[in-house]
Chains A and B, each alone.
Chain A
Amino acid sequence: MTIAELSPRVGSGEVSPVEIVTGCLERITARRDLNAFVSVQADRALEDARAATAEIAAGRYRGPLHGIPVSIKDLIDVAGVPTTAGSAVPPLHPEADAPVVRRLREAGAILIGKTNLHEFAFGTTSDETAFGAVHHPLDYARSAGGSSGGAAVALVEGMCLASIGTDTGGSIRIPSAACGIVGLKPTFGELPVVGIVPLSTTCDHVGPMTLSVEDARILFDALRASAVKKPAEAGPFTFGVPTGYLLERLDPEIREALTTVRSQLSRAGHAVTDVAIPNAQSTPDIYLHIVLPEASHYHAATLESDPSGYSPGIRLRLEMGRYLLAEDYVRAMQLRARLAAAVDAALRQCDALLLPSLPVVAPILGATTVDLDGNPEPVRAATLRLTQMFNLTGHPAIAVPAGRNRASLPIGMQLVGERNRTDRLLAIAAGVERQITVGFGSVGGGAG
């Protein structure tokens, strides 16, 4: 059940936060094998649920998140709870909540626990982690995506009603697509990343993962501490499908799904057109030369003093970043600005870009390559291919479920909007959500 569906029943007193939290805690216990959580704050959550129940009964209902359990990626500070970042490196011990956490509490949300992730958010499969690989809820042998893999699993399995993730190259959208949920990466800088362990300070974003676009809007309202102005326009919209690099290598079933979605949108009265993004193929090189040194900068002291806590692969990637030349970092930053201008130009031809969130379905845990149109491609490169561009350019992007493949694994589509117009992107996504999921449906049972 979505937050939008459940919250009126909470507000009316028909359903109590204690019931909801108890149900979530039971599901967490029942599926510990999925490794969705690093830590569960059960006692505090129940205490907060009892307080919320009393507050609502006394007529002090705060709004749609009041009494709703939310999970927090364990990269984000929660006062009094260690921030592990999924690593065996000694954790941080924050005394204060990150601003996004504080805003959720102010909206009445109940923090149920901290979710597992790819170590330091430096990967897309959530299997390099000190807390056990995160398993896909539909296929135990597969990855749930990453780096916010535990956040996606927690939501799909009904362990919470929303999750907060972070996204530096696709870490909200990739697990959302892999698990069949909605994941929003807002415009760069729109939500504060203070109190969040950085991966790349110029690419890091924080955002919600939810069961519907409407729920994403509810969370986004709370996270930015102001209501989203709902644009009056309801379409029809023009969608631009990028030509060239972004879509040249797709799993055949993902390509088929994109064709189906194009038809569904056209039949619903929207326009769908091809758009070019010049030099899009340079995205991975630009990304690498920015994210590597920025990540290495944060970790440099620990790499020198005690690197033993890092997983071997993470340590090597962080060390690699220390060798990059400053001139190539500046070169990448300048090329990044040109790429952002190219995306801006593409968005002048349409209301939103439309493309898959992932070129493949959830990869097998431990696989080093995936097959794309008959060619093996490294898992990390393949899974970042369709999302990382918008971390570089800062455009808001949202992953929405778009059915399943023949093996019943979820497929996600991605919509990308104008910078600083996340509110409009949410309105567009809400307008098409049902049109591109007809006949498919989401994965999980949800809570409540």
Chain B
Amino acid sequence: MQQLLPTLNDHNLPWMDTIHPIVVHFVIAMAVISVIFDLIGVVMRRPNLFEVSFWNLLFATTAIFVAIIFGQVEAGLADPYGASRSILNLHSTLGWSLAGVLSLLTGWRYVLRNRDPQSLPMTFLAADGVLALLVVIQVTLGNQLIWVYGLHTVPVVAAGRAGLI
């Protein structure tokens, strides 16, 4: 069974380097910029920015599912140790939850846009605030996995294979 699986490199991955952090560029940037353009659109009375927000939000929602697929594979191949175990659990749980939150917000936004693309209710702006907060927490957790615990980096993988952690 084992030999059917691709061999793993010094990042403990079947591909060159982690893909999840590349895909999340599009979730993070598009979700955050969507919230920012909503805010500017309301404050500066620029309704054409609501259209820009809508497309960015839709793209963030599409991208998060790709991010989760690669995230699950790479989390499965990571060898978390110490406190990074619970951080990875939290990051996974919040990742799936964010997929739900983003889908819900996009659906709601689709209905709002069909009714009147020129205005945005304050309730949606409040939901934007929640989304931004969840993204910030999720990004912080992901940052800790790579920048503190170094999951999938060559030295940590080597130390794990040598039984040092």
Indicate, yes or no, whether A interacts with B. Answer: no
**Which residues in B have some Cβ–Cβ distance to A below 8 Å?**
none
**Which residues in A have some Cβ–Cβ distance to B below 8 Å?**
none
